[in-house]
Amino acid sequence: MSTDSDRDLAELYLARALPRRWRHVQGVARRAEAVAAHLAPADGELLVTAAWLHDIGYAPPLATTGFHPLDGANAVRELGVGERLWGLVAHHSAAIHEAREFGVAEQLDQFRDEQGLGRDLLWYLDMTTSPDGQPVSFGQRMADVRARYGPEHFVGRALGPSMGDRQAAVDRALRWLVDAGHRPDHN
Ligand SMILES: [Fe+2]
């Protein structure tokens, strides 16, 4: 699977049904392409693929449980692509904390959270790209999530418990990027 076909797949599922989500995904993927230049080719390609597909589980035809990281991971598993990708999609951006609130933690735990650099970079890129696809600070992005979902929604309820994991991933990713000579594109 090439990253072009990943892009086409994401466009097919998201562009018309969820245009704002599609703008976010394009922003994450564009920034992933810049970051991938610092990685070994296979790792860079995996990061870009994961960026294109991380939110595909929001697509109405794929949204079987209503928990997008799980629906997305199940969808990419059906495509038969590599197992690392399933885990990256399943666990992106502290999804396990939201899964506990939503009641699907056991299902999500069927997928492996690889906890490596690629995973941290995906979390970082997702959590520093606005809903419209612009680079923003992690703090701004979290404030937006908090405001958009409110304290009752499972996403809002998971924010507190997930914040340590989120911040740690962003810190590790940023440290690595700075060491690699990559200039952060957000404030
Ligand atoms: Fe997501």
- Residue 185 domain-assigned (yes or no): no
- CATH number of residue 57's parent domain: 1.10.3210
Residue whose C-alpha is closest to residue 2's, from 52, 55, 37: 52
With contact defined as beta carbons under 8 Å apart, do 170 and 128 qualify?
yes
- The mean pLDDT of 81-93, rounded to a whole number, is 95
CA of 1 to the centre of ligand 1 (A): 21
- Residue 75 domain-assigned (yes or no): yes
One-letter identity of residue 42: A
Averaged pLDDT of the chain: 96
CA of 41 to the centre of ligand 1 (A): 24
CA of 127 to the centre of ligand 1 (A): 9
CA of 164 to the centre of ligand 1 (A): 18
The pLDDT value recorded for residue 186 is 85
- Residue 17 domain-assigned (yes or no): yes
CA of 54 to the centre of ligand 1 (A): 6
* β-sheet bridge partners, residue 129: 135
Q: How many domains does the chain have?
A: 1
Look up the domain containing 13 and give its range: 3-179
Token pair of 57 as six digits: 């589980």
Helix (H/G/I), strand (E/B), else coil: 102? helix
Residue whose C-alpha is closest to residue 31's, from 95, 113, 121: 121
User: Please, which residues have CB within 8 angstroms of residue 116's CB and are 6 or more apart in sequence?
Assistant: none
- Residue 101 domain-assigned (yes or no): yes
Residue whose C-alpha is closest to residue 54's, from 17, 82, 91, 83: 91
Q: In 17-152, at which residue ranges do the beta strands (DSSP E only) sit?
A: none
- Residue 187 domain-assigned (yes or no): no
- Residue 52 domain-assigned (yes or no): yes
CA of 167 to the centre of ligand 1 (A): 16
CA of 136 to the centre of ligand 1 (A): 16
Query: Is pLDDT at 1 greater than 80 in this prediction?
Result: no
CA of 171 to the centre of ligand 1 (A): 19
Note the pLDDT tens digit of each residue in 15-68.
999 999 999 999 999 999 999 999 999 999 999 999 999 999 999 999 999 999
The pLDDT value recorded for residue 70 is 98
- The one-character DSSP state at 60 is G
- Residue 92 domain-assigned (yes or no): yes
Token pair of 151 as six digits: 């304290």
Residue whose C-alpha is closest to residue 140's, from 130, 153, 152: 130
